[in-house]
Amino acid sequence: MFNAIGECALTPEHGFAPPIIPGTLTGNDLATEAFRSMFREALELFLSNDRVSREIDLLRTSEAQIGRDRLLFHIYRVHFSAIQAAYEAYLKRGLLNGQPFQIPPAKEIPGERMLDSGNPSTMARLWELSSDVFDQQALRLMYNQRITDPGQSSRKRDWLVVRFPSLYVEALVESLIHPPWYAACFSAQCENASMWSAYADGHRGLALMFRVDKHGSDDLRLPLEGVTGVSSVFAGTQRHRPIVGRANHRLHRVTYAPGAPKIDFFRYIGQLPRPALLKTWLQDETGNVSPRLTNVRHDDEWRAELWKLFQESAIRKLPEWEHEQEYRIVVPDLLGLRANHPDFRYDFSSLDGIVFGMRTSDEDKLAVMEIVEAKCRRDNRADFQFFNARYSPLEGRLVVRPMPLLKLARDQEDTPP
């Protein structure tokens, strides 16, 4: 919040674009000592608020799992107090020419006594409903402002006062529990008309057919080339450069099931080492440790649980997507090596064939065939196959059939396909 107010103060209303909220940012990460001192002052004022103290005690002593919706509930209950505390620090130093917009007075949000009552499924439903209520309230506040006083409408206020809590919780969950990760998605079949419509430009595109390595009935792998590490010394300097290598990546079968893995936020803050976790989340400045720390471990069993949750999240989709028969290659980026180099390359030898869509233009087909022809000559391949997707009136569905007349040239003297 402190950093967000600074972002709003530096940007004029007409040029304001919602900034990215860094979920890992702490007061110690602020650019200068002056801003770090301001943050400490705002934090002290925030923590001295009785309402905030009660909220922290509720979180600290709760034995129930705290998921995304409940975390959002608590953030909303202290949100206006956080804004006021941060503003005080900025205003005291004359960094704001008055408040850039009006902030609604903090109101007591009911629900304190119900937080750990009832069975877990009932409470989970309660948190979900509260999240829906907050979202509706946010839209109502923004809409009413635009209708009743359009001249005072402010994108900065809408972002900071109304939308910030949900965006902040999203940033926390996305950045503190699991590492960033990348995925390549495949399907076990290519005769589903809705997938051609959704993923292939309304049947105008094409599908790539890959040859995979089988290491068992449920262990399929595809070799890919990408960043595997980093070198710290380059040309006699300390500049870093990526190390590109080849690895056999496993294709995981996607699981289709309702719901998602349930994660206790404070138990699985997996992206912070234990000292940083203590300093920024579970221990105050006087050394008092939250009882919730007893549920947090950094041993092998805890890491195994965390990676199991990550795997379940990365390869799980709702049953409505089951028609895709999807497989995924999932690549976590533990060290942030791939942030600027996210791409992986497959070897042409792994490409078994290409399927043209029902509406792929002749110009696109000929251009693709020319490219494939050149690559086959280079690699001395004569086994590449082309296929065509079409609607079969006889079968009443989309079918994919080979195009055996499209033979690739074996040498320079043969006629192109």
pLDDT digits 0-9 by tens, 304-322: 898 999 999 999 999 999 9
End-to-end CA distance of the chain: 62
> How many other CB atoms are there within 10 angstroms of residue 349's CB atom?
12
- Alpha-carbon distance 386 to 417, whole Å? 11
> Any idea what DSSP says for residue 163?
I
Question: For the chain, which residues make up each domain, given as ranges?
Answer: 2-176
Select the highest-mean-pLDDT range: 146-155, 298-307, 377-386. Answer: 377-386
> Any idea what DSSP says for residue 298?
-
User: pLDDT (tens digit, 9 = 90+) per residue, 183-220?
Assistant: 999 999 999 999 999 999 999 999 999 999 988 778 99
Q: The dihedral of CA 239, 245, 250, 255: what is its sign?
A: positive
Average pLDDT score over residue span 110-139:
74
Token pair recorded at residue 116: 């750990």
For the chain, give the percent of residues with pLDDT over 90.
39
Q: Which residues of 361-397 are buried (b: 16+ CB within 10 A; e: fewer)?
A: eeeebeeebeebbeebbeeeeeebebbbbeeeeeeee
Average pLDDT score over residue span 248-266:
90
- Residue 150 pairs with which residues in a beta bridge? none
Question: 262 or 417: whose pLDDT is higher?
Answer: 262
Kindly indicate the confidence band of residue 169, based on its pLDDT and cuts at 50, 70 and 90.
very high
Q: To which residue do tokens 């503190």 refer?
A: 176
pLDDT at residue 111, as a whole number: 55
Question: 55 or 199: whose pLDDT is higher?
Answer: 199
pLDDT at residue 412, as a whole number: 45
**Average per-residue pLDDT for the chain:** 85
Point out the least confidently predicted range of 40-54, 99-113, 390-404.
Answer: 99-113
Question: 286 or 381: whose pLDDT is higher?
Answer: 381
pLDDT at residue 103, as a whole number: 54
Q: Indicate if the pLDDT at residue 124 is higher than 60.
A: yes
pLDDT at residue 102, as a whole number: 55
State pTM to two decimals. Answer: 0.80
Average pLDDT score over residue span 44-48:
92
CA-to-CA separations, 179 to 190, 247, 272, 361, in angstroms, rounded: 32, 20, 10, 41
Q: Indicate if the pLDDT at residue 13 is higher than 50.
A: yes
- Alpha-carbon distance 25 to 307, whole Å? 24
Select the highest-mean-pLDDT range: 149-153, 158-162, 374-378. Answer: 374-378
Note whether 336 and 258 are within 8 A (CB).
no
Average pLDDT score over residue span 157-186:
91
Q: Indicate if the pLDDT at residue 402 is higher than 80.
A: yes
pLDDT at residue 327, as a whole number: 97
Q: Indicate if the pLDDT at residue 353 is higher than 70.
A: yes
- Alpha-carbon distance 316 to 311, whole Å? 8
Residue 206 host element (H or E): strand 206-210
